[in-house]
Amino acid sequence: MSQSKCIKISDDDKGYPLEMFCIPKHYENHLSHVMIPKGLIDDRTEKLAKDIKEKLSDEPLVCLCVLKGGYKFFADLVDHLKSMNNVQNDPIPLKVDFIRLRSYVDDKSTGDVEVIGGDALHHLEGKNVLIVEDIVDTGKTMQYLLRKLQVHNPKSINVVSLLVKRTPLSVGYKPDFAGFEIPNHFVIGYALDYNEYFRDLQHVCVINEAGKLKYAS
């Protein structure tokens, strides 16, 4: 499996000061810095949509959103794909579907994957599937999902993730398309959460210790 290039953020990157952006008042004391501003996410997502369009040509595609953290990236990516369909002569027929997985408590992966949605996955048989994920951390969750989907015999499966984390716990899995490769920090915002908080942040930010303590489960 070949992976597309992504933007790599170095381990010593300090990001952007919070005061340079609009941050909800109730979160200001619980963030370290902005890692990826919303505008940069938007531009990178548009390029990912173009890469996906080029690789997957004009065959019908089922875009499978991994909830909840992937919903914002999913919506923006699908919007870009639809916009391309409106102006190009070889549109990709699109369908959307959703699945929900859970593997985190606080900032730690439990190692177990709980499937909360996806009762109708048998409808993916014979289809070209694009899994849209917010972040690939250790890779165990995505490997589990891929095994679960393969049971239903899709025609093809590709994975696009906004973020890929560099972590010593990685099993080595890499998605087909990735937006950013990031350091081993716990990130929130742009629909990524910490115990269901911070999804309403526009930017991808790094939570600080005070935030972990305040919003612990």
Q: How many residues does the chain have?
A: 217
- Report strand pairing: 156-165 vs 128-136: parallel
Which residues make Cβ contacts (< 8 Å) with residue 88, sequence separation at least 6? 53
Contact between 65 and 145 under an 8 Å Cβ cutoff? The reply is no
Based on the residue annotation, tell me whether 137 is a catalytic residue of this protein.
Answer: yes
Contact between 72 and 190 under an 8 Å Cβ cutoff? The reply is yes
Q: Count the helices and strands in the chain (H runs, E runs).
A: 4, 10
Q: Which of 12, 137, 176, 193 is catalytic?
A: 137
Sheet containing 187-188, strands listed edge to edge, beginning at the edge strand earlier in sequence: 31-36, 204-207, 187-188
- The residues annotated with a catalytic role in the active site are 137
